[in-house]
Amino acid sequence: MTAKVFLTLLSFLFAGNVNSAEGQGGMPQLNPESFSSQLFWLFVFFLLLFLFLHYFFIPKIQKIKSKRDKTVEDFIIETKKINDSVEKIIKQINNELNEAKESYDKQVKLAYEKNKSIFDKKINELNASYEEKKNKLEDELLVSKDKVIKNISKISLPLSDQLFEKIVGEKSLGKIEDFKKIVGEKNV
């Protein structure tokens, strides 16, 4: 509003000078008689402009700048606080994560050792069972071997008779004495 009043005053003041200069003819700005009045109004206009800027616009700009600086400073302080709290939270999360990893590693190690001992126990039981079965089978094989050696003549004589009959086509009965001669007395 102050600006409107100021502009209105200036237009009335200049309007009077322009009308008087028009009556003389030519360009009034270049007329040396009007230099003093132009210099006066130039001085008045720049003085008013300076005062208006100095006491009206510059204080407002300084006020806005100081508010802006204060706001920026407050935001910087708040940002630092937030960054500090974020760093604390990150440290806390890292500590908890490390503790969880250590706990997990301990539990895995305990489970591994427990399962390994169970596995070793089962392996030992299986080895013992297989060893027992192996020994039993060896004993059975020895008994079967002795039985076969004792009865080899009874088994092989009828078998040799059947083979001879199929190959040659004649029936023949083998004798145990002949078999003992061929094989040897020790093995029969």
Amino acid at 60: K
**pTM given for the model:** 0.41
Q: Give pLDDT, residue 89.
A: 96
d(CA 156, CA 188): 11
Residue pair 158/151 in contact (Cβ under 8 Å)? The answer is no
Q: Is the separation of the CB atoms in 148 and 135 below 8 Å?
A: no
Cβ-proximal residues to 41 (8 Å cutoff; 6+ apart), any chain: 13, 14, 17
Residue (of 177, 185, 182) closest to 149 by Cα position:
185
Nearest CA to 151 among 187, 97, 116?
A: 187
What is the per-residue pLDDT for 9?
A: 62
Q: Which residue has the tokens 């509003």?
A: 1
Give the other-Cβ count within 10 Å of 153's Cβ: 17
The set of residues, in sequence order, having a beta carbon less than 8 Å from that of 175 and lying 6+ positions away, is 157
Residue 152 C-alpha from the chain's centroid: 77
pLDDT of residue 77: 97
Could you give the CA distance from residue 93 to residue 109 in angstroms, rounded to a whole number?
A: 24
The terminus-to-terminus CA distance of the chain in angstroms comes to: 143
| pLDDT for 151 | 75
pLDDT averaged per 10 residues, the chain (length 188): 64 56 63 82 95 94 96 96 96 96 94 94 93 91 84 74 79 69 60
Select from 113, 181, 123, 118 the least CA-distant residue to 153.
Answer: 181
